[in-house]
Every structure is written in structure tokens, then in C-alpha cells.
Structure 1
Amino acid sequence: MSIDCTDYRAIFLNDRPMLDARAPVEFAKGAFPGAVNLPLMNDHERQRIGTCYKQHGQEAAITLGHQLVSGAIKAERIQAWADFTRAHPEGYLYCLRGGLRSQLVQQWLKDEAGIDYPRVGGGYKAMRSFLLDTVDQAVTQCDFVLLGGMTGTGKTELLTQLSNGLDLEGHANHRGSSFGKRATEQPSNIDFENRLAVDILKKRAVGIERFVLEDESRTVGSCALPLPLFQGMQQYPMVWLEDSLQGRVERILRDYVVDLCAEFITVHGDVGFALFSERLLESLNNVQKRLGGERHRRMLLLMEDALEEQARSGSVDLHRAWIEGLLSEYYDPMYAFQREKKGARIEFAGERDAVLDYLRERAVQRG
């Protein structure tokens, strides 16, 4: 049996299942795509052992650990690990640094369940460093172009049709604007960075060295872009996606009203529509200061009327009024200023099919 694996690249490229033996509080702060948390110690046990280590040293802490995780508790945890390893014989286990916790899990699996299961040398810390380096290397070694455009032009939709597109909003589970929250929670910032890094790693593994990114601010909702990447985005060339006001209104109506409402109902059931309505109103209130009092009141009345009609009849027609008003009076002037400011970096502008063709041709020409 191979005791340790340090081929982190192969682990992530092959989507190897991973048993994370860290405590739940550690897992919640950040983990890897597909990892399952089956801890050696729960949060309370970990805290007690940490206190013991500080006060009495390592030997006393280890003794306490064996006392806390013994008997039925130990048997239950070994059973959970054994079930995972049998279901995922191609996987690995890890702890924070590839130290005592993962060694114990590995040893107990062998002694109590007769299962040889490899662990990751260096643990979570080493794999996390590998992924951070993956992003840093891409920033210095690869070619990037930004996809910009007015709100509602369908930038993310276009990006997902490109084999070399990096969907930052998809990884962040957020649409990027003040109205961008989804019905489900965003990942932790570390999880977001890890997902992005694995995406880059897999694309580079098949020969992609030129990437298309949506032009974003430093944060996508609560997720912050890796600083080297964001710094690079201030200089990358741009392609500007265009569409008519009517086309953009219809796309926003679909994405932020029809689809988002359905998403809330799917996730939350009977209270889904009420939560969707609250989210939409909250999003408008979040830009109240920037809108100004009069515009905010006017948009709010239009949105409330639209939500009442949607609740009563299912019709979404009235939503077009506040969407068009918000675009023409708020978002468009802001984006027009951005386009002028970044104009020197724009190497192509056009509607969807033209931009799609240009970006695909650009990737081939620079290959």
C-alpha cells in the first residue's frame, strides 16, 4: 500500500474522493470539491484536546484524545470511515497537515476494519498551497481576456459556452450584482478559491492556456477574487458584449424573476415565493442610497405591484417596468462610464454571435 500520496495534481485532475478527518469547524472554513467530512474528533473534543495540549503538553493531549474517542464513539466513527472507503476505494484521507489525526484514522481502519487506505502527505495545508500556486502560475503564464458589457447582456451565459471560459459567478454561486444572491448559500471564500483553482488546473491539463473571464469587481457577493488575478484584471484586454434594451430586459426578467422564483420554490417549498419576494425587495433596498429617494420609491412601488400581480395570477409582465427603469436610469449610466474608462482596452465589441465567434477565433489564433 502507498502510505502517502503527494501527487496533488493527479488527485484533483481525477476528482479523487477525499475523506476529511478534520473537525467540522475546520471543514466549514474551507475544503475541496467533493470532500466529505468524517472527523476523528468533533469540535468540542478538538477544543478540549487543544486546551490540554497547551496546559499539559502533547503526551497528555494524546492520552485525552484516546479517552474521548473510545468505545461506542470510536466504533461508530470507524464504521463511517469504513463505509466511505468501501464506497470510494480510489480515494484518500487527509487531516490538516498529514499528521497524527490522519495517521490514527488510517491505523484504526487497518487494525479494526482490515482496510488499507492511503492518506495525503502534507494534508489539507499542502493541497491548499498547491491550489493557490495553481492560480498564481496561471496569472503569470497564461493569456486572459475580460468579457464586459451592460447589465443583462448575458455575459455569464455566453461565457459558459466557451471551453476556455472561467465562470467566476458560477463558482461563487452568485450573479455578481446587487441582485445576484441565489436561493442557496455561497461557498466560503476558501471553497470558492479552491473551485476556481481546480477549474484552471483541469483546463490547463487539456492544453488551454488562454482564458476568458467576466469583468468583475474584487468581490462576487461575499467571495473575493484571488488578489493576483484581480490585479491582472485591471490590465487585461476586453471584449464588450452588446444587446438591445429590450433583449436585456427579457433576459433579466427570465434570470432574476422567473428562474430565481422557481429556484426559491424548489429549495424552500411553500414559503419559496415569500422568500423570493423578500430577496427582490431587499436587493432594491440595498441600492437605495445610490438610486436616490425619489427613484427608489418609484421603483419600489413598481416592484411591489409586480410581485402582487405575480402572486395573484402568476403573470410576470409587470416586472418589466422596474427592470427597464433600473437599467436605463441606474445601471446603464454607470456602465457607460465604465466603458469609456476602459475603452482603450476594448479590442472588440458586438452582439452575442459576433462576440462568441471572435473569442473562439481569438483562442485559436493565439494557440
Structure 2
Amino acid sequence: MQLPLSDDFLSIVLNETPLLDVRAPVEFNKGKFINATNLPILDDEDRRLVGTKYKEEGNAAAVKLAESLIKNEGKEKRVAQWKEYLHKNPDAKLYCFRGGQRSGISQEWLNETGITITRLKGGYKAFRNFLMQQSEEISAKTSTLILGGRTGSGKTILLKKLRNTIDLESIANHRGSSFGSYVNAQPSQIDFENNLAYKLIQFHHKNFNKLVIEHESHNIGKAFIPQSVYNNFMQGELILLETSLEKRAAITYDEYVTSALKDYEKVYGNEALQRWAEDVNAGLSRIKKRLGNQRYRELKELFEKAYTQHESKQAKSLYQEWIMRLLNEYYDPMYDYQIKTTSIPIIFKGDEEAVSEFINTQEK
């Protein structure tokens, strides 16, 4: 009997279909898809041994070795895990790297127990190629409004209030500055690209006139926007969000101090404040060369003063003084120069209310 195969990758993206990935953990950790769960048919060492056998003696010998490594008890254990997963995710699809031996065997084993699951034609590789092709094609034909503004102006806050947006920093799990790391690690480069492709495809099928993104560099932390996609994004038009220095300092304090510490507490508990301060100091060290020695020492001392008085009533004002100096003396001159020299046409400037109203008019 011919078991079901499918290459309807678009449906998987639009429905965020659960996926059963039977590749080895080392493969899964290098790159995976949204809603994919790794329940491997071979572990990392077994995969290495089978791969070596394949290179030395061919496919038949590799399959025979794989079967001997799994044995009956291993097969029963794996099938039980897959059945438990499929009980919770009955619409899931199955794949391995190329959609061949491993996923084919997994599909047959499940079929023996009365469970039919659809296997992805071409596996991970074909689906990944589909996503990368779609990213390039969709970004090329999508008109972008690029939301710019000085650091702390509230661009992310505004993006969350709009419907026709993709939050690149959220996908990258990074705030896009020297102090922008979150407690949880960024996704791998491949995961970032896959997740961005999902968002682009889903956006494309909502039929908006314009895509709104934040004005980003080619990289967001350690995550790089694919060059062709980035170039397409930068063909758009620039809108500048104007916010007072005092309000920007307050927004930055809420995000980088108050909210950040809550995240650190979830991970580090009683050590949260110390770990957070260490990471802030590491961020300062990364920009030391640009700051210059004198300014670096002054900003470091000001932060240490705020940190040592963290529990006092003066702490907030000290942190905001430190933030205002960073914004005014470091981030603003860099961003102002970037805007002065940009080739992207600036079509509007205004505060949050005015910018929001302008963007909404572009959809009418």
C-alpha cells in the first residue's frame, strides 16, 4: 500500500501544522521548524555509525545496521513515543532530512499499529528550500514601510499596536542593541530564517497593502536577515517616530531595567540582580572603544552608583540619568548620522499618534 506523501508546504505554514521530526537531535538543534517536535528514530551516535556504514558499504548495509541498533525493544519504545505525540497532535506531518529512509520506516511502523500519518515529500530539505524561496519572492514584491526613530522612541510598542507588521526583533529574540540580549538565547541562524519565512508567508496571505517593519541593521544580535530579503526590505520608505529624550529614557528604563529584571528573576532567582548587572557591564565593555576611555569610565561609574543603590528611592532616577547619557552621547549621534546619510526616502515624521494615523492611511 502506498502511504501518503505531501509537499503542500504552504498549508503547513498557514495552519502552523504540528510536525514530527525523526532526525537525530544534532540535526534538529541545527535547524527546525515552528511547531516541530523531535522524537528521533536514531540518536546522534547511531546516526553517526549508520552514516559511516552507508559511505563505506552502501544503503543496504546501512539499513541493516540501523535495524540492528534499534532492535525490537527500541522500535517499540520509539513507536510508543510517536503514538503518544500523535494522540495529542492528530494532524501532524512526519519528516526526516530528505523524506526518505528514516521517515519512511517511521511511517511504516506507525502504519503497522493502525496509525496513518502523512510524510513530507523531500523532507526537511525540501520544506526548508520552499521557505527560503518564498522569503525572497514575497519580500521582493511587498511594499515596506520602515519604522525608524532614535533608540528608546517606542518603535516596538507602536508595532504591537498595528496589524500589518512583522516584529523582526521578536523573531530574533533580541532588542537590536549592545544591551539587547534576553536571558533566553537567540534562535540558531537557520531557525531565525525559517521563522521569518513563516511570518512573511502568513503576512502575504492577509492581503495588506504595506508591510511595516522596524528599521534594523542587517543583523539583530547574532541573527542575520538573509541578504536578499534585507535588500528587498530596504527598498521601502522610511517613517521616523519622534519622541522626547525624557520619554525615551522612561521607555528604556521600563524595558531594559524593570522588565529585564523580571525575566532574569525567572531564570536566576536570587542571583538575578547580579547576573543582570554583569550583562549590562558586558554591554558597556562592547562599546568602550566607541565611547572613549573617559566617557566609558563615567558611564560605568554612574551605572555602578545606581546598582549599589538599587533598593533605594534614588535608584530609578540614577538609572534614568545613566540611560539619558547613553542615549544622548552615544546612540543619538550614531543614529542621526545614519539617517542623514541614508538612501531610503523619508516620507513622514511625527509622534506616535501621528505616525500611527499615517500608517493606517496607507492601508486605505
After TM superposition, the score normalised by the length of structure 2 is: 0.96
Structure 2 Cα separation of the partners of residues 33 and 27 of structure 1: 12
What does 1:40-189 align with in structure 2 at a 5 Å threshold? 40-111=41-112, 113-189=113-189
Q: Distance in 1 between matches of 2:214 and 2:34?
A: 22
> Whole-Å Cα distance in 2 between the matches of residues 25 and 79 of structure 1?
22
Deviations 1:76-127 (A, max 9, x none): 111111101111111111111111110010111122x321111111111111
State how far apart, in whole Å, the 2-side matches of 1:272 and 1:181 are.
Answer: 15
* Equivalent residue, structure 2, for 1:30: 31
Map 1:203-352 → 2, pairs under 5 A: 203-310=203-310, 315-342=315-342, 345-352=345-352
Q: Which residue of 1 aligns with 2:358?
A: 358
Distance change >3 Å, CA 325–CA 162, structure 1 → 2: same
In 1, Cα distance between equivalents of 2:171 and 2:344: 29
Aligned-partner Cα distance in 1 for 2:278–2:261 = 11
Q: Is the 8 A contact 2:180 2:221 kept in 1?
A: yes
Q: Name the amino acid aligned to 2:116.
A: D
CA contact (8 A) 1:40 1:77 kept: yes
Distance 1:311 1:205 in 2: 50
Stretches (4+) displaced over 6 A: none
Instruction: Tell me if the contact between 1:98 and 1:121 (Cα under 8 Å) persists in the aligned partners.
Output: yes
Output the CA distance in 2 between the equivalents of 1:344 and 1:104: 53
CA contact (8 A) 1:20 1:93 kept: yes
Q: In 2 relative to 1, CA 355–184 (structure 1 residues): closer, same or farther, beyond 3 Å?
A: same
Displacement after TM superposition at 1:209 (Å): 4.3
Kindly state the Cα deviation for residue 255 of structure 1 after the two structures are TM-superposed.
0.4
Q: Which residue of 2 aligns with 1:202?
A: 202
Q: Deviations over 1:5-24 (max 9, x none)?
A: 11111111111110001111
Contact 2:4–2:118 (CA under 8 A) maintained in structure 1: yes
* Cα distance change, pair 73–311 in 1 and its aligned pair in 2 (3 A): farther
Q: Scaled by the length of structure 1, what TM-score is found?
A: 0.95
Q: Is 1:309–1:316's contact at 8 Å kept on the other side of the alignment?
A: no
What one-letter code is carried by the residue in structure 1 that aligns with 2:166? L
Q: Residues 314 and 2 from structure 1, CA distance in 2 versus in 1: closer, same or farther, beyond 3 angstroms?
A: farther
| Counterpart-to-counterpart distance in 2, 1:201 and 1:234 | 18
Distance, in Å, in 2 between the alignment partners of 1:272 and 1:89 is 41
Q: Supply the distance in 1 between the matched residues of 2:246 and 2:343 (Cα, whole angstroms).
A: 24
**Corresponding residue SS for 1:73:** helix
What's the Cα RMSD here?
Answer: 1.5
Which amino acid letter does the alignment assign opposite residue 22 of structure 1?
A: R
Deviation at 1:200, TM superposition (A): 1.5
Stretches of structure 2 lacking an aligned partner (at least 5 in a row): none
**SS at structure 1 position matched to 2:316:** coil
CA contact (8 A) 2:140 2:229 kept: no
Query: Is contact 2:235-2:344 (8 Å) kept?
Result: no
Cα distance between partner residues in 2 of 1:60 and 1:312:
70
Q: Please say if residues 238 and 344 of structure 2, whose CA atoms lie closer than 8 Å, have aligned partners that are also in contact.
A: no
The answer to whether the 8 Å contact 2:21/2:39 transfers is yes
Counterpart residue identity of residue 317, structure 1: S
Alignment identity in percent? 37
Q: What is the alpha-carbon distance in structure 2 between the residues aligned to residue 138 and residue 55 of structure 1?
A: 43
Q: Deviations for 1:209-245, whole angstroms, at most 9, x for unmatched residues?
A: 4201111111100100011121124432100011000
Whole-Å separation in 2 of the counterparts to 1:30 and 1:269: 31
Q: 1:162 aligns to what SS in structure 2?
A: coil
- Would you say how many aligned residue pairs link Structure 1 and Structure 2? 363
8 Å CA contact retained: 1:264, 1:273: yes
- Confirm or deny: 8 A CA contact 1:258 1:316 kept in the other structure: no
Name the aligned partner's letter for residue 145 of structure 2: V
Secondary structure at the aligned position of 1:93 is classed as: strand
Q: Distance in 1 between matches of 2:320 and 2:224?
A: 31
Deviation by residue 1:340-360 (Cα, 9 ceiling, x = unmatched) = 112761000011110011111
Distance 1:129 1:315 in 2: 51
> What one-letter code is carried by the residue in structure 1 that aligns with 2:109?
W
* Cα distance change on mapping 1:13 and 1:270 into 2, 3 Å: same
* C-alpha distance 357-343 of structure 1, shift in aligned 2 (>3 A): farther
Report SS of the residue matched to 2:62: helix
* CA–CA separation in structure 2 for the residues paired with 1:77 and 1:309: 55
Distance between the aligned counterparts of 1:53 and 1:224, measured in 2? Answer: 35
